[in-house]
Amino acid sequence: MNKTTLVYEGKAKKIWATEDKELYISEFKDDLTAFNGGKKSIQEGKGALNNKISTQLFKFLNTKGVPTHFVDMLDDNNMLHKRADVILIEVIVRNIATGSLSRNLGIEDGKILPFTLVEFDYKDDELGDPKLNDQHCMILELVKDESELDYMRYMARKINTLLKEFYASKNLTLVDFKLEFGRDCDNNIILIDELSPDNFRLWDSSTGEKMDKDRFREGLGGLKVAYEEVLNRILGEK
């Protein structure tokens, strides 16, 4: 399968069309961004690690009945997947308070939430990805009806349950994460984008060490080492 036309370039990936109109290729980049692009860097090998981690997690979720866009990992930096029309809603799933939730609402950092919190953000960099409620989603015509919002919440909670247990078996705590959904050629809503430490907050369950992009956000260093450790644990390697 060969790349033909560049369809879209984002902060972390380039999306390419192929000879098959229903298949795209995501090329994972080594670029690092935080704070809506306010902080930028490059970490060699980061893209390949995110591709490999995402591949393993998409495969895992597919075996659990979660519909995703994943087809195959072509090489270290390129993933073959179904073409999907992106729903411009970022679905945020939180198990533990940290980051913006703690800053905005004054909830103690590290507090375990009494239930899984699912939030919607508007996928719009120029607006700073503002928070959405259901009525906002309908006014902006981001979905066809409220049942689609209910479905995305349901799938987000299902994915959270599956990945919390999966990561716990790897001595990792799933703190929070971002999901994206799209519509495939049959108009089904499926999970898309990537499943990596760029989009997931992961803490070592024993030490509390951060194993995700917060290492870049907070200037902790060692991001590539942390991502490699996450991949090795997923693969059951040391």
Parallel, antiparallel, or unpaired: how do β-strands 172-183 and 85-96 relate? antiparallel
Domain of 208, CATH number, reads: 3.30.470.20
pTM to 2 decimals?
0.96
For residue 235, tell me if it sits in a domain: no
Question: What rounded mean pLDDT belongs to the chain?
Answer: 96
CA-wise closest residue to 119 among 136, 144, 139:
136
How many structural domains comprise the chain?
2
Q: Is residue 229 part of a domain?
A: no
What phi and psi values does residue 44 have, to the nearest 5 degrees? Answer: -60, 130
Which of 82, 98, 130 marks a domain boundary? Answer: 82
Residue whose pair of structure tokens reads 């990561």 in the numeric block: 167
Amino acid identity for residue 219 in this structure:
G
State which residues form the domain around 103.
Answer: 87-223
Residue type, 86: V
Say yes or no: 131 and 219 in one domain. yes
Tell whether 70 is covered by a domain. yes
Domain check: are 104 and 189 in the same one? yes
Q: How far is CA 115 from the centre of its chain?
A: 20
pLDDT in tens, 24-60: 999 999 999 988 778 899 999 999 999 999 999 999 9
CATH for 77: 3.30.200.20
pLDDT band at 238 (very low <50, low <70, confident <90, very high): low
Q: Evaluate whether residue 230 is within a structural domain.
A: no
Distance CA 168, CA 79 (A): 26
pLDDT of residue 38: 81
Same domain, 94 and 200: yes
Query: Does residue 204 register a pLDDT over 90?
Result: yes
